[in-house]
Amino acid sequence: MKNHVEILVYGSLNMDFVAFLNKLPKIGETLSAKDFMMVPGGKAANQAVAASRLGIKVGMVGKVGDDYLGEELINNINQEGVVTETIKKDVGSSTGIAMIGVDQNGDNMIITNKGANESLTISDIDEAEESLIHSKAVILQLEMEQVVAEHIIRKAKQHDKYIILNLAPIVPIDPQVLSMVNLLIVNETEAFELTGMDINTIESTIEAAKILNNRGIESVVITLGASGALLSTSSTAQHFQPPRVDVVDSTAAGDCFVAAVSAFWVRNGNLYDAVEHAVKIAALSVTKKGAQSSLPTIQEYENFMQGR
Q: Which residues are catalytic?
A: 255
* Alpha-carbon gap, residue 127 to 155, rounded angstroms: 12
Nearest to 80 by CA among 112, 106, 53: 53
* Alpha-carbon gap, residue 50 to 259, rounded angstroms: 6
According to DSSP H, which parts of the chain are helical? 43-53, 68-79, 122-127, 129-133, 146-158, 175-178, 188-195, 202-213, 253-268, 271-285, 298-306
DSSP state of 83: B
**Contact by Cβ (8 Å): 256, 45:** no
Q: Is 247 exposed, middle or buried (0-12, 13-18, 19+ CB in 10 A)?
A: middle
Q: Phi first, then psi: what are they for 55, rounded to 5°?
A: 90, 15
Q: Phi first, then psi: what are they for 102, rounded to 5°?
A: -125, 125
**Contact by Cβ (8 Å): 136, 162:** yes
HSE at residue 103, side-chain half, CA atoms within 13 A, is 10
Q: Is residue 201 classed as helix, strand or coil in its secondary structure?
A: coil
- Give every CB contact of residue 209 below 8 A, 6+ residues apart in sequence: 191, 220, 221, 222, 230, 232, 237
HSE at residue 203, side-chain half, CA atoms within 13 A, is 0
Please state at what angle helix 271-285 crosses helix 253-268, rounded to 10 degrees. 150
